[in-house]
With several copies, the nearest count.
Chain A
Amino acid sequence: MAGFDKVVKSYAEALAGLTDDMTIIAGGFGLCGIPEGIIAEIKSMGVKGLTFVSNNCGVDDFGLGLLLEDRQIKKMISSYVGENALFEQQFLSGELEVELTPQGTLAEKMRAGGAGIPAFYTATGYGTPVGEGKEVREFDGRPYILEESITGDFAIVKGWKADRYGNVIYRHTAQNFNPMAATAGKITIVEVEEIVEPGELDPAHIHTPGIYVNRLIQGSFEKRIEKRTVRSA
């Protein structure tokens, strides 16, 4: 790699340096916009004791759920972790730790982590179990709780197109948590459907500027649909 060319040749190269007990920030919402090839590589690497910061944990046989099969995940920081029998089983047996975090707070924690904001106040979760043990402060007569930001050793992100410099755009609602995840990893890996040359993407429409991206790889995606809802034409 020279200059700003972020493209790596293999998934092994993309994930070089990932070891047991690290924290990974993952983009995606349900099975939408998840870095499928990166997850597969983490599975085949067999690293264990991982903490994942991700809105969900996939389903039994897809997405992050795949990493439950070999008990690679120690802890999930998520807003919603249904849809997964293996998850339930490992959670109930105490093998898997779960830190439930409101969805908006989770997104903001990732953004803050990437943006050098160590903590912020939010009304979300005040007076609920989420607020327990957290500082409460009033602004303008309303109580808010203090939430700290999150960063990870790695961030894994799924984009649509990226140029070689790592400027990424996302497709439709596959954007979701990916842009924030991209900012919050010490090493950020982006897996995309298509890699283009610098200059092919409009600078004003870049969702994730290349400064946040360390490694870029082109993948192929199954894009499994969780709830196929259709209407007759």
Chain B
Amino acid sequence: MALSREQMAQRVARELQDGFYVNLGIGIPTLVANYIPEGMEVMLQSENGLLGMGPYPTNEELDADMINAGKETVTAIKGASIFSSAESFAMIRGGHVDLTVLGAFEVDVSGNIASWMIPGKLVKGMGGAMDLVAGANNIVVTMTHASKHGESKLLTQCSLPLTGAGCIKKVLTDLAYVEIAEGSFWLKERAPGVSVDEIVAKTEGEIVVPDVVPEMEF
């Protein structure tokens, strides 16, 4: 069965390591914060200028001057630091963030990602996504494997305008965990009960399938 949003977040959380500075995008990536393994410390970076983002505030803690990049009210943990947008993106662009998790419309076998613009639809902007994909060495893209109409989002070549070129190496979909290398997708894990055939059928770009594709466990 396809992974739920929570399962996707849970699987991405396995990419975390103790002491990682992590930037989580809006949507499923945000949920990853709920699955940080016990005993592991991870610090969340919010690109509007906060390192050490804490949980949502209580009503008493609520403060209009303390928000995250999604414009939600948040708190700061002990040991947080707060800084300008220029400093924040110096961190991001300079490769100091250990892991970035974000959503996408499409990825392709060259590691290209399209996540911000659908021609003909109103374009709201890329926000910090282009900086995040250009700056991070370690990115996990989370998205459904195929569109509602069954069209693959793992392509030979992205059809939508790119967010970044050649920067994606790890993709977690609701069906599989896939890595990108040498111009191909490499199937690494499959969702529980999802067949390799289904994954291959829903992957438009070339995908390398090993003899054994372990099922994810939850």
Q: Which residues of A contact B73 (CB under 8 A)?
A: 225, 227-230
Q: In the complex the two chains form, is A230's CB within 8 Å of B58's CB?
A: yes
Return the contact of B127 from the options A80, A108, A211, A233 (Cβ within 8 A): A80
Q: Which residues of B contact A30 (CB under 8 A)?
A: 67, 71
Which one of A8-16, A18-26, A37-45, A121-129 contacts B? A121-129
Q: In the complex the two chains form, is A226's CB within 8 Å of B67's CB?
A: yes
Q: In the complex the two chains form, is B97's CB within 8 Å of A29's CB?
A: no
Q: In the complex the two chains form, is A204's CB within 8 Å of B82's CB?
A: yes
- Give the distance to chain A from B89, nearest Cβ to Cβ, in Å: 3
Q: In the complex the two chains form, is B94's CB within 8 Å of A102's CB?
A: no
Q: In the complex the two chains form, is A32's CB within 8 Å of B162's CB?
A: no
B52 lies within 8 A of chain A by Cβ: yes
Interface of chain A, helix or strand or loop or mixed? loop
Known: A128-B130, A230-B73. A180 touches B81 (CB 8 A): no
Q: Which residues of A contact B142 (CB under 8 A)?
A: none
Known: A80-B126, A102-B131. 5 other contacts (CB 8 A): A123-B134, A125-B134, A172-B82, A175-B84, A211-B43
- Give the distance to chain A from B122, nearest Cβ to Cβ, in Å: 6
CB nearest to A110 among chain B residues: B86
Q: Which residues of A contact B46 (CB under 8 A)?
A: 173
B15 lies within 8 A of chain A by Cβ: no
CB nearest to A126 among chain B residues: B165
Q: In the complex the two chains form, is A173's CB within 8 Å of B82's CB?
A: yes
CB under 8 Å from chain A, chain B span 95-151: 95-97, 112, 117, 122-131, 134-135
Q: Report the count of interface residues on B (CB-CB < 8 A).
A: 74
Known: A2-B41, A211-B91, A228-B62. A127 touches B165 (CB 8 A): yes
The 10 A-B residue pairs with the shortest CB-CB distance in the complex, in nearest-first order: A127-B165, A198-B79, A104-B89, A3-B41, A199-B78, A116-B93, A104-B131, A115-B90, A82-B124, A80-B125
Q: What number of residue pairs across chains A and B have CB atoms under 8 A from each other? A: 245
Query: A-side interface residues toward B, CB under 8 Å?
Result: 1-4, 29-33, 55, 78-82, 88, 91-92, 100, 102-108, 110-111, 113-117, 122-130, 160, 163-165, 167, 171-180, 183, 197-199, 203-204, 206-207, 209-212, 223-233
A139 to B136, CA, bound (A): 17
Q: Which residues of A contact B134 (CB under 8 A)?
A: 116, 122-126
Contact with A along B29-57 (1 / 0, CB 8 A): 00000000000110101111111100111
Known: A3-B19, A183-B94, A232-B58. A100 touches B123 (CB 8 A): yes
Return the contact of B85 from the options A81, A180, A198 (Cβ within 8 A): A180
Q: In the complex the two chains form, is B41's CB within 8 Å of A4's CB?
A: yes
